[in-house]
Amino acid sequence: MLHLNIQNETSRLRSVILGIADHNGPSPSPEECYDPKSKLHIIAGTYPKEQDMILEIESVMNVFEKYDIQVFRPEVIKNYNQIFSRDIGFVIEDKFIKANILPDRDQEITAIRHVLEQIPEENRIILPEQCHVEGGDVMPWNNYIFIGTYSGKDYSEYITARTNIHAVRAIQELFPNKIVKSFELRKSNDNPKENALHLDCCFQPIGKDMAILHKNGFLIEEEFDWLVNYFGKENIFEISKDEMYEMNSNIFSISEDIIISEKNFTRLNLWLEEKGFIVEKVPYSEISKQEGLLRCSTLPLIRDK
């Protein structure tokens, strides 16, 4: 049995699901894309090759092995993108909550059955059908659960709007002792530099009391200001539009002082090291072309209490 425990983003990681890039399938057409960044690379002829993505994910696997972390992998579904395991579910406390994701991606959850079967049935939660949610929008942070959402009347027109207000309310009901704080995110189907696909594309807590933030990802300035006040300006690394596009906020914490980051994030990595973090640098620039990075391709199951 797996005794799930996730209270925050940065306690020492013990068990995780890491996505796979094997049998990723042919490059989609621009019309088949779920996000503007993938579409851009398909049109430009720079969409990532399967072999490159396999190597990038294995570089993360090597870091997990170095720190003695239990790693589960999805079963391979041929011609299917299974890189972004964060989208298919997430853990808060001892509950695994299945994400209600884009219908085209429904098969992804079946590929982690061997993991779900190790979780007590009463701790496997399926939200009501009207609740749309993906793991990239959900961040447990001790007494808080931070959730990215979009509640505009034109929600259904954005393929990039992945978490709705019904899901925010349902998660609040599931965890009455937590403070659920939602943030309206900027959405665009066409311009990846104006699109925060998930909350972790413009915000991520690190260490004990620090955060990476991108202001333009937030639709409501007061909500951005709340985070600045909560973490303190001196504890925040603010990223530019280009750094957001390259996914600088989508790194992944193994512990409060060890972070996996993309090797080309020069400015961020330097800042992290100056703040005392151990930065495990990996190549991940090909995977980032699909508007996802290190947090997107990991689904933590157990962190230390």
Predicted structure pTM score? 0.93
* CA distances, 273 to each of 258, 267, 268 (Å): 10, 10, 9
Q: Exposed (0-12), middle (13-18) or buried (19+): which is 157, by Cβ within 10 Å?
A: exposed
- 181 Cβ neighbours under 8 A, 6+ residues apart: 144, 145, 146, 147, 226
CA neighbor of 269 nearest in space, from 252, 281, 257 = 281
For residue 33, the model assigns a pLDDT of 66
> Residue 257 is encoded by which pair of tokens?
């002082």
- CA 88 to CA 96: how far, in whole Å? 10
Strand partners, 203: 213
For 17-45, give one letter per residue: b (16+ CB within 10 A) or e: bbbbbbebeebeeeeebbbbbbbbbbeee
**CA 167 remoteness from chain centre:** 17
Whole-angstrom distance, CA of residue 239 vs CA of residue 229: 17
- Domain spans of the chain, in order of start: 13-303
Q: How many CA atoms lie within 13 A of 96 on its CB side?
A: 27
Dist. CA 36–CA 301, nearest whole Å: 30
Q: What is the mean pLDDT of each run of 10 residues along the chain (305 residues)?
A: 97 98 79 70 80 95 98 93 92 95 78 97 95 95 96 81 92 98 90 86 97 96 98 98 94 98 98 98 91 92 96
Give the integer Cα–Cα distance in Å for 59 and 229: 36
- What pLDDT was estimated at residue 221? 97
Token pair, residue 116, equals: 């779900």
CATH node for 13-303: 3.75.10.10
CA atoms within 13 A on the CB side of 59: 20
CA-to-CA separations, 149 to 158, 172, 223, 288, in angstroms, rounded? 12, 14, 12, 22
Coil, strand or helix at 115: helix
